[in-house]
Amino acid sequence: MIYINGFACKSALGLTEEESVKNLSEGTDICLRERVGFLPGGQKAYLAEIPLYPDPLNRHDCRANRLLNECLNDIRPLIDEMMERYSPDRIGAVIGTSTSAITDVENEVLSAECEKNGELKYDPRVSEIGNISAFISDRLAITGPSYSIATACSSGGRAFVSARALLESGACDAVLVGACDTLSKITVSGFFALGALDIGRCHPLCDDRAGINIGEGVGITILTREPLKSGYVMKLLGTGSSTDGYHISAPEPEGHGAKTAIRLALMDAGLSPEDIGYVNLHATGTVLNDAMEHKVIRDVFGDRVPVSGTKHLTGHTLGAAGVVEAYIAYLIFRYGMKLPAIGYLSHMPSHEFDDIHLVKEPEDLQKPVIMSNNFAFGGNNISLIFGKYDSEQSDVR
């Protein structure tokens, strides 16, 4: 069995666990707001930028690493217990991302000072995708396997898969698993050029859905083969992944690759569709993704399992989405929270989704098993299944 020990996460839902619980239960956020400066011509777009008050980090200094460092500080008691229990060479780090430190590179390249004298004020090594995992290892002085994963919006979910492999192979006794993506002009403009960015507030699963909102997100947790004592614990029951390679940005319309990932996760966990208590959908708000995901849920789960999405509250955190949504499962288990509802101010879910169990009003989790799905560019699909852990009961699936 693989255990997920403690969790620190920062997104538009909140900067602390208490803030995230409050906003998830109320269907609100702290920082998904209209912003200028990311699109040409002074156009506004709804984006989420996390307030940040960290210390500089020497050669690793960049916005992504500063956000990760704040999360490390939040779970320091768990890290201390992990370091006491395991040798540094038996502790690994796997961090997902899609853009890593591109925000800092943009700011540097676009600065007038840089254009004037051609000198860089930052260490160019921070622009490497692998820098965020190297930062974690250097910051904690651990020497086990350490690497970053960049598979677009499935990166955070795939970090769990890779960490589990390191544990089950015996290569590690503990693995720090996380993800981080920061707001980037390149990313925002790119989605706008694709016609996938909603410059208003996004409303997935509605008739007039128009695209995504992009939000910053960061999170980190610790995976082990035995539970740690310093934080709340949940279980990683199963994982499934596929790569259908249908299109560089559009999903395969019938969702064959997505169904494969879900069914593999169910098989891995030894569960049937009816055993799942809730599915957190990818639910980006694009016309094509939501239509594809509807077919997937209808064909695998019918109307028997409650489903909804949370990106209208967090923004689409891209490479961090799998970790941010794993954190939402963690909060639901830990605090006995009701399932988050689909709600969009004046927008109502489309009737095309009436044949699945869409959570339109908060409802109780009936079975302590949650699935989270992320479907990325290039047909890179990931499905994770989490279970509630009760230390006083025998730990069987």
**Selection from 140, 142, 126, 156 nearest residue 65 by Cα:** 126
Catalytic hit among 203, 294, 312, 316: 316
Structure letter (DSSP) for residue 154: T
- What is the Rg, in whole angstroms, of the alpha carbon atoms belonging to the chain? 20
Query: For residues 6 and 79, is the Cβ–Cβ distance under 8 A?
Result: no
What would the two tokens of residue 68 be?
């990760």
Give CA–CA dist 68/219, Å, rounded.
7
Give CA–CA dist 178/118, Å, rounded.
34
Annotated catalytic, 282? yes
Catalytic hit among 31, 62, 153, 180: 153
Query: Residue 381's beta-bridge partner residues?
Result: 242, 375
Catalytic hit among 203, 282, 294, 312: 282
Give CA–CA dist 293/368, Å, rounded.
23
Annotated catalytic, 60? no
Give CA–CA dist 235/226, Å, rounded.
10
Annotated catalytic, 316? yes
Query: For residues 234 and 328, is the Cβ–Cβ distance under 8 A?
Result: no
* Exposure string over 85-120, b if 16+ CB within 10 A, otherwise e: ebeeebbbbbbbbbbbbbbbbbbbeeeeeeeeeeee
Give CA–CA dist 140/162, Å, rounded.
20
Which of the residues are catalytic?
A: 153, 282, 316
